[in-house]
């Protein structure tokens, strides 16, 4: 199993209205100790609560699904591009 290092940071964020997807870069080590980059995507939707304060959730309404698909596709394309650049 790969050993995870501490200190990942956001690589890039994509937004469509109140929905966003963030790409995270994680540096890991394989069993031989060689480092490699692994990318993950987190999603969230912003909303205002009853007091008018901005909050985040990972729950989406049917109307958010198109936006969610869009930002996930953009994040995925970004990761694929990064991996291609790493291989060259």
pLDDT bracket for residue 6 (50, 70, 90): low
Output the pLDDT for position 45: 98
- The DSSP annotation for 19-73 comes to EEEEEEEEEEE-TT--EEEEEEEEEEEEEE-TTS-EEEES---GGGHHHHHHHHH
The domain ranges of the chain are: 3-87
* 27, 86 contact by CB (below 8 A): no
Q: Which two tokens stand for residue 31?
A: 């069993």
pLDDT one-digit tens code per residue, 46-88: 999 999 999 999 999 999 999 999 999 999 999 999 988 877 7
How much is the pTM? 0.80
Q: Report CA Rg, the chain.
A: 16
């Amino acid at each position: 199993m790969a050993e995870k290092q501490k200190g990942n940071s956001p690589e890039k964020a994509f937004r469509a209205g109140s929905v966003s997807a963030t790409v995270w870069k994680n540096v890991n080590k394989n069993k031989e100790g060689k480092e490699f980059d692994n990318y993950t995507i987190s999603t969230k939707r912003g909303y205002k609560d009853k007091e008018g304060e901005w909050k985040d959730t990972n729950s989406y309404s049917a109307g958010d699904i198109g936006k969610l698909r869009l930002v996930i596709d953009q994040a995925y394309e970004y990761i694929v591009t990064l991996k291609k650049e790493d291989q060259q």
